[in-house]
Chains A and B, each alone.
Chain A
């Protein structure tokens, strides 16, 4: 059963902490993505990657960075967590060109206090 695995389902962090969200896919997909989901705002793209060591900014990259050292792993980093980064974070992967859609992970609910 192919899947995208996010390392944590729930996280609580303090303001100012550096936070790492990890995502691993086992489908040999080229593309990987990080989205956040907030009520009334849908899914907003933070960063994406088309290949190892490549990254592109999405619509809301401020306050975030990413790392893709291996094809199967895509990490989202909150450099200094703030309360407005409290959200559901969703990782996804897809084949090159995106045909067949994304496979999403189950999400990480991050609360910054």
Chain B
């Protein structure tokens, strides 16, 4: 039973436009959500997170939205840049658990 799902394996957008990456979860105990970015031949790097007490968190061009009732979160990248092309992983964890459950990833391609 996959508790964190990223239903779109890939996404392609034009440079300057908005990229929206989606993630759904099934475990209602999750209270902390994270996004990671991964380039080929490198480990993932932490991008942005959100606690369940919030519904939005911004960091520069990156915004994460959380809809707890729908068990859904999304990552918005505005404006998208070619350097944003990477695999994006959604992750979630239970209170004070430390360990995260990851989705399968979405490959974002930003075309110049």
Contact = CB atoms under 8 A, between A and B. Distances in A.
A42 B105 contact: yes
B84 to A, nearest CB: 18
Contact of A100 (B42, B46, B102, B103): B46
A48 B32 CA distance: 18
Contacts of B6: 42
A43 interface: yes
Interface residues of A, number: 30
Interface residues of B, number: 24
A74 interface: no
A4 B101 CA distance: 20
Contacts of A103: 46
Interface string A99-110: 111111111000
Nearest to B99: A48
B34 interface: yes
A58 interface: yes
Given A31-B98, A58-B99, A98-B98, 11 more contacts: A42-B104, A90-B43, A96-B98, A98-B93, A98-B100, A101-B36, A103-B46, A104-B36, A106-B43, A107-B41, A107-B42
Interface of B: 6, 9, 32, 34, 36, 41-46, 49, 89, 93, 96-105
